[in-house]
Amino acid sequence: MSAARVIVGLSGGVDSAVAALLLRDAGWEVQGLFMSNWEEDDDAYCTSARDFQDARAVAAELGIALHRASFALEYRERVFRHFLREHRAGRTPNPDVLCNREIKFGVALQWARRLGAAHFATGHYARLQQGPEGTGLYKARDPAKDQSYFLHAVAGEELARTLMPLGELQKSAVRERARRAGLPVFDKPDSTGICFIGERPFREFLARFLERTPGPIETPAGERLGTHEGLPFYTLGQRGGLGLGGRHGHPEQPWYVAAKDRERNALIVVQGHDHPLLSSGALTTAAWHWLSSPRREAFRCSVKVRYRQADQPALLEPRADGTARVVFDEPQRAVTPGQYAVAYEGERCLGGAVIEDIVPAVSEAAAA
């Protein structure tokens, strides 16, 4: 009886390389898929060509076939268009979440199935476990690398067709396995930046697609301090790139973005990392995507509002229309509409949703 076929998303990095190695050694018929989904002649930032050569070298070392596919059209339509639309609305989207749902575990998984694969596999750091409710998503054993936050929007039926061999491993062990196996990417730095686009000067990149709309930078009291380049180019809690420096009559403390007034095209800033106007006591979300049986009543859990954030105790209140309200035990800093609130019970990810609105921990009058 022949081994079951699995297609591994080979990115050219060490994580996906070791995922393929582990599956091959476990007896699977492994083939690789390299996705190039951002097609621009911009070698300074787009590393796709170099990554493909690394993926080829890994496939050759492992003795597996390597396919190459471009889902650039799907990425533009399903991920990047949303990314720009959210920025135009003055929000701060997280494209990695949509990239996982729509591309890696969407069109790429479908493509793998057309090639006869029983499963699609990736180098993500997360764990999948079977239970009474189907396939559950759990945090990785390495808390510093856990990527369940970025995977919360993937459909449960797609997770059921997926393998994530690195979920039980520490990153150091992954690199050591790659080194022992002679994989040429064992010491390659981790990729950073926007999914498939890479790390590049963000404001300059965004300005290629969005018009600059300058406006006033103000204090909550209405004092004008400077001029911003356009609300889409800033995010709540941001410190750098404001061009303010010291100001007469104000203490020598850094300035932070506290709010965006879209009606007046004004950027509201405050001084001090822990200024009260940077804190939110609660938030509301768009429709919640459940990876467990949908909850109907309020319940206690932990919630993250950004990647790498420690679990925050909260009360999650599902609403009849599918949205939710999250009330935190302690105020949270720089909660940002457009980002995602993701809920956990212990190690299990329950799902999440886009943050729509925030409830300030204090009013502007009280903070003045």
CATH number at residue 90: 3.40.50.620
Domain count within the chain: 3
Return the residue matching tokens 């467990």: 292
Residue 200 within a domain: no
| Residues in a beta bridge with 198 | 194
Q: Do 227 and 263 belong together in one domain? A: yes
Q: What is the pTM of this model?
A: 0.91
Per-residue pLDDT at 41 exceeds 80: no
Catalytic site residues? 99, 195
Residue 21 within a domain: yes
Domain stop point among 219, 238, 273: 273
Q: Do 294 and 334 belong together in one domain? A: yes
DSSP notation for 213-275: --EEEE-TT--EEEEES-GGG--TT--TT------TTS-S--EEEEEEETTTTEEEEEESTT-
pLDDT tens for each residue of 331-351: 999 999 999 999 999 999 999
Return the amino acid letter for 268: I
Q: How confident is the model at residue 270 (pLDDT cuts 50, 70, 90)?
A: very high
Average pLDDT on 62-88 reads: 94
Residue 198 within a domain: no
Q: At what angle do helices 14-25 and 171-180 cross, to 10 degrees?
A: 70
Q: How confident is the model at residue 245 (pLDDT cuts 50, 70, 90)?
A: confident
CATH number at residue 336: 2.40.30.10
What H or E segment, with its residue span, contains residue 110?
helix 108-114
CATH number at residue 231: 2.30.30.280
CA distance 32 to 65: 6
Residue 204 within a domain: no
Domain stop point among 163, 180, 197: 180
Q: Do 10 and 129 belong together in one domain? A: yes
Return the amino acid letter for 158: E
Q: Do 69 and 168 belong together in one domain? A: yes
Q: Do 235 and 303 belong together in one domain? A: no
Q: Do 54 and 170 belong together in one domain? A: yes
Which residues span the domain enclosing 306?
277-367
Residue 205 within a domain: no
CA distance 117 to 34: 15
